[in-house]
């Protein structure tokens, strides 16, 4: 068992590098085993014994992850900040992302939107649409629906995936519904159903249209139901 091996590997201070590595390994194993409190206590022991340890920032990151697992969102944010103070600029985008996740889980939506914005502004390679969606979600929950829609528009224009385009249609339709604009909502839902029949969000859009009593082409309806594994409704639609 990993926890036993890491515990036995400690040398009681005779070899600090071995001890710090063992403590970090032990904390990781506790997190993997969904035992965040033990991980937190292990990192506390690390910080107490080796406050100038070469991997102190790694220790803080693990402890922040343990706080996240525990649902202690405020302490998670504080501990991510401790990592950033020791290693500024190294993984700032990811730290801001995790900070945004913590604020979002804690229902502090404006702070979450700001954190995701900082994650987007920090150096990071690859497709960042997921961060745009995180920010849009936070903005929407904070009540800034127009900015959320603007970000959904941006993601829709940038993505190369039909599944994402269908998702953006559905989310914009949901916001239009929330704003009391049923005609705009139906246009978004119809666009999804007419253009992306294999996407699950098109099925969700179909449900919205049917619920609102808006007619949908039966062949298209059957295709969407089929791809959503709704086989009986698909057969019924094809039979029309």
Cβ pair 98, 80 in contact under 8 A: yes
* Cβ-contact 65, 79 below 8 angstroms: no
* Average pLDDT of the segment spanning 232-237: 94
The DSSP element (H or E) to which 81 belongs, if any, is helix 73-86
> In the predicted model, is pLDDT for residue 105 greater than 90?
yes
Q: According to DSSP H, which parts of 87-230 are helical?
A: 92-105, 109-121, 129-142, 145-158, 162-178, 182-195, 200-211, 218-227
Dig out the tokens for 155 from the structure.
Answer: 């993601």
198 and 227 Cβ atoms separated by less than 8 Å:
yes
Token pair for 12: 């009681």
For residues 155-173, average pLDDT = 97
Report the chain's mean pLDDT, rounded to a whole number.
93
Residue 4: is its pLDDT beyond 50?
no
Q: pLDDT for 215-233, tens place per residue?
A: 999 999 999 999 999 999 9
Tens-place pLDDT, residues 30-52: 999 999 999 999 999 999 988 98
Confidence band of 64 (pLDDT split at 50, 70, 90):
very high
Percentage above 70 pLDDT, the chain: 93
The reported pTM is 0.88
């Amino acid at each position: 068992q990993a926890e036993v091996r890491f515990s036995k590997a400690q040398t009681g201070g005779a070899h600090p590098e071995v001890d710090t590595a063992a403590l970090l390994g032990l904390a990781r194993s506790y997190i993997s085993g969904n035992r965040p409190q033990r991980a937190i206590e292990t990192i506390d022991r690390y910080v107490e014994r080796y406050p100038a340890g070469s991997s102190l920032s790694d220790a803080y990151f693990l402890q922040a992850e343990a706080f996240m697992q525990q649902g202690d969102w405020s302490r998670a944010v504080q501990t991510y900040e401790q990592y950033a103070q020791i290693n500024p600029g190294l993984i700032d985008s990811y730290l801001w992302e995790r900070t945004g996740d913590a604020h979002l889980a804690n229902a502090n939506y404006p702070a979450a939107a700001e954190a995701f914005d900082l994650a987007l502004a920090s150096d990071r390679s690859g497709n960042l649409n997921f961060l745009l969606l995180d920010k849009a979600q936070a903005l929407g929950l904070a009540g800034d629906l127009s900015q959320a829609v603007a970000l959904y528009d941006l993601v829709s224009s940038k993505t190369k995936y039909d599944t994402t385009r269908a998702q953006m249609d559905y989310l914009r339709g949901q916001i239009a519904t929330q704003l009391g604009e049923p005609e705009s909502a139906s246009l978004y839902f119809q666009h999804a159903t007419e253009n992306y029949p294999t996407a699950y969000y098109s099925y969700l859009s179909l449900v919205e249209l049917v619920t609102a009593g808006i007619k949908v082409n039966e062949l298209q309806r059957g295709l969407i139901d089929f791809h959503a594994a709704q086989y009986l409704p698909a057969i019924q639609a094809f039979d029309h």
